[in-house]
Amino acid sequence: MVLEKDIFKEFEDIVGIGNIDDGEVITNVYAYNWCMEIFNYMEGKEPIPFSPIPKAVVLPSSTVEVQQIVKLCNKYRIVFKAQSTGLGPWNQPSTDNSIIIDLRRMNKIVKIDEKNLYAVIEPYVSGSQLQVEIMKYGLNCHMPGAGPQVSPLASATSMNGPGFTSPSTGHSARNVLAVEWVLPDGEIMKLGAYGLKNNPDFFHGDGPGPSLRGIMRGWAGTKSGLGVFTKVAVKLFPYPCSTEYSVKGYSPNYDFEIPEFMKLYVMDCGNFKKLETVMLRVEEQEISFMCSYLSGFAVMAIFSNSIESLMDKIAIGQMKAPLVVIIAARTQREFYYKQKVMDFLLKKFKIKNIIGKIYTPNPTFYAEALRSNLGLHGFIATGGFQSTKGVADTANVCLRSTKSNIPLKKGFIKQGVIVNDFGEGTWMTSYESGHYFHMESPTMFDQTTEQSVSGMAEYMEKSNQLDLLKHLGAPFFVEGTRMHELFGPHMSNYHIWLRKIKEIFDPNNISDSGFYITPQNK
Amino acid sequence: MNEKEYNQMIKRCLRCSICKWIPQLQIKSQKYATICPSIDMFNFHAYSGGGRIIIALALEMGRLKPSQELLDIVYKCTECGGCAVACKFLNTLEPLEIIVKLREKLVSLGYGPMPKQQQYIESIKSNNNPYNELHENRLDWLSNDIKIDPDAKVLYFVGCTSSYRRKEIVLATARIMNAASYPFKILSEYEYCCGSPILRTGDKKSFIDQVNKNLDIIEKENIDTVVFSCAGCYDTFKVDYPLEREYNFKTLHTTELFNEFIDNSKLKLNNQVLQTVTYHDPCHLGRNSEPYEEWDGEALQMMPLVSLNMPEKPKRCGTYGIYESPRDILKKIPGINFIEMERIKEYSYCCGAGGGVKSAFPEFALKTAKTRIEEAEDTGAEIITSACPFCYTNLNDGIIEKGSNLTFYDISELLLMAIGSPNKSIKESSTEVA
């Protein structure tokens, strides 16, 4: 399907010549995404990495242009799907009666308020870009596990957004302040302090009155199912150590001068019970820059930059319940205190730090940790990677979820359809001083073989069902009408409320519902 | 990259967009965070390294057929290889090699290269140079003061662009070698285009003909080393020729040679060059000049779905390009205040001229040059220097178009100033490079 010429012209009048394309090559490229084959399989379609092909792709440069595009979509009943940096199947249109709004040209850091600790950004500012600019003020930002190349705006408004630095930088859902939001009907909504009549600014994200943040994104975001976000303020945090950041040498064998007050601990807690206790104590003390439980296999991966170098680290992989902690400080005194606390906890729980004794990572590891690049190591084994679970709950529930998943995963490993990580492939991190935790189960598969794709899809479905059966909360990929209708009745019928929101905000169902929820009558 | 590897790799793009940025660990500012001139200019994802991998996959799957739109996108790429460096920090995909092979496939199917590029190829076949210049004028640069030694063991391969378009480079190069009492000879009327413009635009068959033609000639000469002042010729001989036919001479870029001259006191740097200078890494001399390492290993399946290359297969990440020699030279020239741009070495930003872009899409080339010139201006430099006649021409065009106060000199010209030889070069401005 292509746009009628007159309609194309109307879009072109908004964005300018060269900023809209309906050619078959451009539109086919936008139909591709990572893991799309899994979602196609789950929907009973051919397991290929292509979604329906959009009619066109538009590149707006301002909120006004986005608003005009959305209004035009409503006028002609064309579905829109907005994307920022575009990683993942949730960027894909669910219908060929659609256009993609690629927000790439909206790439400004609008404001850095170092005093009040927030930055206002447009959709195509990447995590790295924001970080390097705020580092000039001694500040840091949160970046999701997807890596520093993705959009913090997208993560804050539309996704879950846990990251390796979550203990010190929270997670995207909790970092979003005021927002500029083009609603599905084209109206511009200003959330929080940005909507004030006098002196509007971005410092606050709620009220006065009932907070609309929950409607805007809720737990997992709407994935462009409820309009387009054009500006967002995100919280900033003190940079954990010296902002001297100089990576020398040549890729991929970079060298990095580890900041003076930074230390890595990798400890085997031996079992999940002890892991829970230690992790809670570390987080309670608010000393960690990073604190993650990773399976042995995953610890091997974060220290490796190729599958071959991963296999050198089998000794690390044999740890039963590894905890990876980084402490960082800006002064000797702060560093001394944090080390002292860690020493105390190690002694108390009779665990040992293997770093510097059994294993010493390349200094580049520290550079990657500071730049939130570690999540990308999940791709090094096969290139095919996706997570199940996605629990946000107590440490205990997260570990229960981990344990219950192991036999299920082992079954699929035995079939040879997913990679053997001993069934334990897990990443768990804490939020807000250990008040709650994030847990997901990364799994590697081969996206080029139908057997592995279908096996991975079936494993994901079974894992979701297990979460229901064992009351382990809503996983990451409860997305789209089918999944919401499956989980909603078990969870306060949230899907009914979600649907009401959709119906009220998007009466024409123009904002793509594929990874959100369809209105009742559609 | 063989057909099997190609067909496997095109299915594995993560669409992560890493290919649009310099390596994440090297990002120093928002302004200079990107690596790909093509996506910077045209914005649609199809114009990125990853986008072109998707195009390759869609073609193989029959979702797309060759078309003008497709050609336009595939050829609006400078083949600078920045995407590959960024991708391969952690991944094993080869975006640049996929783009090169995609072009080859299009040509073999009867599509591509772009018309202007085809004219250059035709000119190479008929005139031995892409510029439609008479072959007999190839030695017009040769002035009476240059000493050529027909018995020398070193051959200076001048290249088409220096011979016809950037004579200041060849003159400076020859004079420096003379000043260092370094005997060299040239192929004179037997020097032909290295074939780089043919290879980069996808006409593999014609390229192989050119390889054979050149090696047949050179191997008749009694030489042990071939020296290049052109980064394009150097890369082509050093990296691409051995994939088609082995040879037994050493290849050297002049920056390597000149640095040795200075270290061995063969050159006396008597004159101060009181300028602030920044250096632009040519893609062909930097990341793309890293040779392929032979690998005799095999992929062993360690467990279902996971194969290991045993021994580990070397990744070509731009690690071993020529980066330090030109910088060493600049640091040794008295008076020069050397200052770096943000994007350097293996993650240098392209000048915009490569991959046939300067000929087929001059506006794209010029815009990219202006971007790079702005980056150079931001350092506070007065001079931007490099070591490639393509970069010379395009960056100089960018300076003129932008109205920049910067001056471009090839590194050999700066060195010539430092040794005090008369610089008779004429600065030519030409937008025509292949």
DSSP letter string over A23-91? -HHHHHHTTB-TTHHHHHHHTTS---SB-PPPSEEE---SHHHHHHHHHHHHHHT-EEEEESS--SGGG
DSSP classification of residue A488: G
Q: Which residues of A fall within a CB distance of 8 Å from B70? A: 25
> In 3-state terms, what secondary structure has residue A428?
strand
- Helix, strand, coil share (%) of chain A residues, nearest 5: 40, 20, 40
| Phi, psi (rounded to 5 degrees) for A327 | -110, 145
Give phi and psi for A428, each to the nearest 5.
-140, 135
* A440 within 8 A of A391, measured Cβ to Cβ: yes
Q: Looking at residues A317-342, what average pLDDT do you find?
A: 97
* Res A480: pLDDT: 93
What are the beta bridge partners of residue A301?
none
For residue B167, being part of any structural domain is answered with yes
On whether residue B433 sits in a domain, the answer given is no
Return the pLDDT at B426.
Answer: 41
In this structure, are B33 and B145 located in the same domain? no
> CA A428: distance to chain centroid?
14
Contact yes or no for A444/A419 (Cβ under 8 A):
yes
| HSE value, Cβ hemisphere, 13 Å, CA-based, for A311 | 15
Predicted pLDDT of residue A276: 97
Residues B328, B222 share a domain: yes
pLDDT value for B428: 43
* Closest residue in chain B to residue A37, using alpha carbons only: B11
Which pair of tokens denotes residue B301? 């399946």
- Within an 8 Å CB–CB cutoff, is residue B75 touching chain A? no
Instruction: Using an 8 Å CB-CB cutoff, list chain A residues near B348.
Output: none
Contact assessment for residue A342 and residue A325, using Cβ atoms and an 8 Å cutoff: yes
Task: Assess if residue B18 is contained within a domain.
Answer: yes
Q: Are residues B374 and B409 in the same domain?
A: yes
Main-chain dihedrals φ then ψ at residue A139, nearest 5 degrees: -115, 165
Pairing of strands A56-58, A98-102: parallel
Tell me how far apart the alpha carbons of residues A77 and A4 are, in angstroms, rounded to a whole number: 13
Q: Is B300 touching A (CB cutoff 8 A)?
A: no
Looking at residue A476, what is its pLDDT?
A: 82
- One-letter amino acid of A208: P
> Over 60: is that where the pLDDT of A428 sits?
yes
How many structural domains does chain B have?
2
Residue B40 is part of which domain span? 3-112
Is B297 part of any domain?
A: no
Rounded to the nearest integer, the mean pLDDT of chain A is 95
Chain A touched by B70 (CB under 8 Å): yes
3-state secondary structure chain B: CCHHHHHHHCCCCCCCCHHHECCHHHCCCCCCCECCHHHHHHCCHHHCHHHHHHHHHHHHCCCCCCCHHHHHHHHCCCCCCHHHHHHCCCCCCCHHHHHHHHHHHHHHCCCCCCHHHHHHHHHHHHHCCCCCCCHHHCCCCCCCCCCCCCCCCEEEECCHHHHHCCHHHHHHHHHHHHHCCCCCECCHHHCCCCCHHHHHCCCHHHHHHHHHHHHHHHCCCCCCEEEECCHHHHHHHHHHHHHHCCCCCEEEEHHHHHHHHHHCCCCCCCCCCCCEEEECCCCCCCHHHCCCCCCCCEEEEEECCEEEEECCCCCCCCCCCCCHHHHHHHHHCCCCEECCCCCCHHHCCCCCCCCCHHHHCHHHHHHHHHHHHHHHHHCCCCEEEECCHHHHHHHHHHHHHHCCCCEEEEHHHHHHHHHCCCCCCCCCCCCCCC
Q: What confidence score (pLDDT) does residue B422 get?
A: 54
Chain A touched by B77 (CB under 8 Å): no
Ramachandran bin of A124, using left for φ above 0, alpha for ψ from -120 to 50, beta for the remaining angles: alpha
Tell me the pLDDT band of A310, cut-offs 50, 70 and 90: confident
In the structure encoding, which two tokens stand for residue B264, read together?
Answer: 């061995």
What average pLDDT score do residues A198-203 get?
A: 95
Last residue of a domain, one of B92, B112, B132: B112
- pLDDT attached to residue A208: 81
Q: What is the dihedral of CA A119, A122, A127, A132, to 10 degrees?
A: -60
The tokens describing B287, both together, are: 């990341």
Closest CA to B117 of B404, B417, B355: B355
What pLDDT, on a 0 to 100 scale, did the predictor assign at position B433? 57
- Domain co-membership, B165 together with B99: no
Q: Are residues B203 and B84 in the same domain?
A: no
Confidence tier at A210 by pLDDT (50, 70, 90):
confident
What lies within 8 Å, CB to CB, of B114 at 6+ separation is: B71, B75, B201, B356, B359, B360, B361
Identify which of B12, B306, B315 has the shortest CB distance to residue A448: B12
Shared domain for B225 and B335, answered yes or no, is yes
**Pairwise CA distance, residues A170 & A139, whole Å:** 14
The verdict on residue B432 lying in a domain is no
The token pair at B36 is 């790909």
Cβ-based neighbour number of residue A310 at 10 Å: 22
Determine contact, residues B76/B47, Cβ cutoff 8 Å: yes
CB contact under 8 A, B24 and A26: no
Final residue of a domain: which of B59, B88, B112?
Answer: B112
Same domain flag for B74 and B120:
no
Same domain for B95 and B163?
no
Is the CB of A130 less than 8 angstroms away from the CB of B43? no
B319 touches chain A (CB under 8 A): yes
Residue in B12, B26, B46 nearest the CB of A383? B12
Secondary structure tally for chain A: helices H, strands E = 19, 19
Write the burial class of residue A393 (CB in 10 Å: 0-12 exposed, 13-18 middle, 19+ buried). middle
pLDDT score at A473:
83
Residue type, A2: V
Distance separating alpha carbons of residues B45 and A83, to the nearest angstrom: 11
In a domain, B427, yes or no: no
- Does the CB of B111 have a partner CB in chain A at under 8 Å? no
Chain B residue with CA closest to A60: the answer is B43
CA distance A76 to B280: 50
Q: Which residues lie across from A262 on neighbouring strands?
A: A328
Domains and CATH numbers, chain A: 5-105 (3.30.43.10), 109-238 (3.30.465.10), 247-377 (3.30.70.3450), 382-477 (3.30.300), 478-522 (no CATH)
Residue A258, phi then psi, degrees to nearest 5: -65, 130
Name chain B contacts of A417, Cβ cutoff 8 Å: 304-305
Residue numbers in A near B26 (CB within 8 A): 247, 251
Q: Are residues B119 and B105 in the same domain?
A: no
Q: Which amino acid, residue A512?
A: D
DSSP A350-375: T--B-BTTTB---THHHHHHHTT-GG
B346:A251 CB<8 A:
yes
Is B37 in contact with B20 (CB distance < 8 Å)? no
Same domain as B377, residue B259 = yes
CB A363 within 8 A of CB A249: no
pLDDT in tens for each of the 434 residues of chain B? 999 999 999 999 999 999 999 999 999 999 999 999 999 999 999 999 999 999 999 999 999 999 999 999 999 999 999 999 999 999 989 999 999 999 999 999 999 999 999 999 999 999 999 999 999 999 999 999 999 999 999 999 999 999 999 999 999 999 999 999 999 999 999 999 999 999 999 999 999 999 999 999 999 999 999 999 999 999 999 999 999 999 999 999 999 999 999 999 999 999 999 999 999 999 999 999 999 998 999 988 888 888 888 898 899 999 999 999 999 999 999 999 999 999 999 999 999 999 999 999 999 999 999 999 999 999 999 999 999 999 999 999 999 999 999 999 999 999 999 998 654 444 443 445 55
Q: What angle do CA B108, B111, B113 make, to 5 degrees?
A: 95
Is there a contact between A367 and B69 if contact means CB atoms under 8 Å apart? no
Is the same domain home to B76 and B208?
A: no
Please give the pLDDT value at position A378: 86
In angstroms, the CA A480 to CA A94 distance is 10
Q: CA-to-CA distance for B417 and A233, rounded, in angstroms?
A: 54
Q: What is the mean pLDDT of residues A215-232?
A: 95
CB A390 within 8 A of CB A477: yes
Which chain B residues are Cβ-neighbours of A128 within 8 angstroms?
21, 24, 27, 33
CB contact under 8 A, A308 and B309: yes
| pLDDT value at A60 more than 70 | yes
Same domain, B365 and B282: yes
B201 vs B107: CA distance, rounded Å: 8
Computed on alpha carbons and rounded to an integer, the radius of gyration of chain A in Å comes to 23
Hey, are the CB atoms on A102 and B24 less than 8 Å from each other? Answer: no
Give the distance from residue A296's alpha carbon to the nearest chain B alpha carbon, in angstroms. Answer: 17
Band (pLDDT 50/70/90 cuts) for residue A382 is confident
Helices B254-263/B411-419 angle, 10° precision: 20
How high is the pLDDT of residue A312? 78
ipTM attached to this prediction: 0.97
Which B positions 79-98 lie with beta carbon below 8 A of chain A? 85, 88-93
Strand order in the sheet with A228-235: A109-113, A118-121, A228-235, A176-182, A188-191
Phi, psi dihedral angles at B424 (to 5 degrees): -90, 10
Asked whether residue A159 carries a pLDDT value surpassing 70, the answer given is: yes
The residue of B42, B64, B305 whose CB has the most chain A CBs within 10 angstroms, and thus the best one to mutate to test that interface, is: B305
Does some domain include residue B308? no
Residue B193: inside a domain: yes
Average pLDDT score over residue span A29-38: 97
Domain boundary at B84, B112, B140, which?
Answer: B112
Q: Å from A256 to nearest chain B CA?
A: 10
